[in-house]
Amino acid sequence: MNEGTRAERAARPQLHTWELAKRGWKNMYIATEEGISEARKIGCRIAEIDPTSAKGHQLIAVADFHLSTWRLRVILRS
């Protein structure tokens, strides 16, 4: 009788987490260092609120990647 209950519960994301993730990706697409840094902060907030959600960890990882390549480009240009 409990088959699929856990899967159903896991399939429904928390609304607040989802809204924060949308805001984070919006900042990511601004494509400025400030926007990407803000997206990372939002990702950290999502990870605090819901550590089981991949959305926060994904934002952190993508932001870290973009920030590190952004800074590497600046170093290589100088």
Q: For residue 51, what is the DSSP state?
A: T
Distance of CA 48 to the CA centre of its chain: 12
Q: What pTM value is reported for the model? A: 0.75
User: Residues 38-60: pLDDT tens digits?
Assistant: 999 999 999 999 988 899 999 99
User: Residues 7-30: pLDDT tens digits?
Assistant: 455 555 577 899 999 999 999 998
- 1 within a domain of the structure (yes/no): no
- 10 within a domain of the structure (yes/no): no
Q: What is the CA radius of gyration of the chain?
A: 16
User: Residues 59-74: pLDDT tens digits?
Assistant: 999 999 999 988 777 7
- DSSP string across 2-18: -TTHHHHHHHS--HHHH
Domain that holds residue 37: 15-77
Confidence of residue 2 (pLDDT cuts 50, 70, 90): low
Q: How many domains does the chain have?
A: 1
Q: Per DSSP, which regions of 1-78 are E strands?
A: none
Q: What is the pLDDT of residue 72?
A: 74
- 9 within a domain of the structure (yes/no): no
